[in-house]
Amino acid sequence: MAAKKKSNEKSDLNKVPFSTRVRPYMIVAPSLIITIGIMVPFAMAIWYSLTNYSFKLPNHKFIGIQNWVNMLGDASFWGAVKISVLYGTISTVIEMLLGLGVAILLNNLNNGLSKVLRVLLVFPLMIAPVTATIVWQLMLNSSVGIVEKLLNIFGVYNFPWAAAPGTAMMTVILIDVWINTAFIILLVLAGLQSLPKSPFESAKIDGGSAWFNFINLTLPMLKPSLYIALLFRFMAALQEYAIIFALTKGGPGDSLMSLSLTAYQKGFKFQKFGAAIPYILVLWLIINIAAKRIVNRQRAAQKQAAGLEE
C-alpha cells in the first residue's frame, strides 16, 4: 500500500502540472478566438454563395455553383469588375500624386501658413463620405450649385456631372479625391518628417539639385510610407460604396454599378443573398491579390531604404 502510494507520488512529480500543459493553448486562445470570429462569417459566406438563400424564401437549399455560373455569365458582372477596378485605380493614382505633391510643398514651406494649411487640409477627412457627397451634389446642381455658376463664367452651361454616364465616373472620383487626398497628405507628411537629415546635408554640400535630391534621396527613403498610403487607399477605393450610392445609386443605367453596389442591390433590394455573395467574394479576391503585391513591394522598399538591399 505504502509502496503504491510512493510510486504514485513519484509519477506525480514527473508529471508536468496541468497549468503548465495548458499554458501554450491559453496564450494562443485570444488570437485563436479572434481568428475564428473572422473566419466563421467568411466560411458562412462561401456556404451561402452555394445556396439559394433569399429573404423571399422561408428556407434555403444547396444549389452547387449555380450562383457563380450565373454571375460569370452575366455581362453586368464584368461591367462591375471593370468599374470597381477603374474607380479604385484612377482615384488612388490621382490621390497619391496630389497627396505627395501637397505634402512636399507643406514640408518645404515650414512656416505659419503651412501650419494652418495642415489643419485645414484634414477637414474633408472628418466629414462622413455620405455627407460630403450630399454637399457636393448641391454644389454641382445645375440650378443652385456654385460650381455651375463658376462654369457659367467660362461659357459652360448645364454640365451634366453625375447625371450622364460619360461624366458620372469623373464626378464620383472628384468627390473621392476631395475627401481622401488628405489621408495621403497626412501619411506622406509624417514620412517626410521622419527622414534622416544627414543625406540631404551631404547632397547640399555636393551641390545636388532639388530634382536630384527628390529622385535619389527623398523618393527612395519615402517609398515605404508611400506604399502604406497606397495600400490603405487602394483597398478602400476598390470597396467604395457610400459616395456612389449617395450620388446616383449606381446610375445612370449601370454606369456606376461597382461590385459593392451590385452586391448590395442583389442582396438587400432584390433580397437574393445567395446570388449577391459571389460578387463580394470576387471583390475580396481582387483586394487580397492587390494588397499582397503592395505589401511585398513595401517590404522590399523598406529594406532598400534601410540600406539592406540595393
Name the minimum Å distance from CB 56 to another protein: 4
What span, in angstroms and rounded, lies between the C-alpha atoms of 108 and 231?
25
Residue 235 main-chain phi, psi, to 5 deg: -60, -45
Q: Which is nearer to another protein, 249 or 297 (CB)?
A: 249
Q: Which is nearer to another protein, 56 or 197 (CB)?
A: 56
Which of these, 108, 145, 137, lies nearest to 243 by C-alpha position?
137
Q: Which is nearer to another protein, 35 or 108 (CB)?
A: 35
Which of these, 299, 276, 150, 158, lies nearest to 228 by C-alpha position?
299
Name the minimum Å distance from CB 127 to another protein: 19
Are the beta carbons of 190 and 107 closer than 8 angstroms?
no
**CB-based contacts of 276, cutoff 8 Å, min separation 6:** 262, 263, 264, 265, 266, 267
Name the minimum Å distance from CB 132 to another protein: 16
Give residue for cell 505504502: 2
Name the minimum Å distance from CB 167 to another protein: 10
Residues that bind another protein in the complex, under the rule CB under 8 A = 24, 28, 32, 35-36, 39-40, 43-44, 47, 53, 55-61, 137, 140-145, 148, 152, 157-158, 160-166, 247-254, 265, 268-271
Name the minimum Å distance from CB 143 to another protein: 3
Q: Which residues of 292-302 are buried (b: 16+ CB within 10 A; e: fewer)?
A: eebeebbeebb
Q: Which is nearer to another protein, 39 or 97 (CB)?
A: 39
Q: Which is nearer to another protein, 99 or 250 (CB)?
A: 250
What span, in angstroms and rounded, lies between the C-alpha atoms of 54 and 268?
10
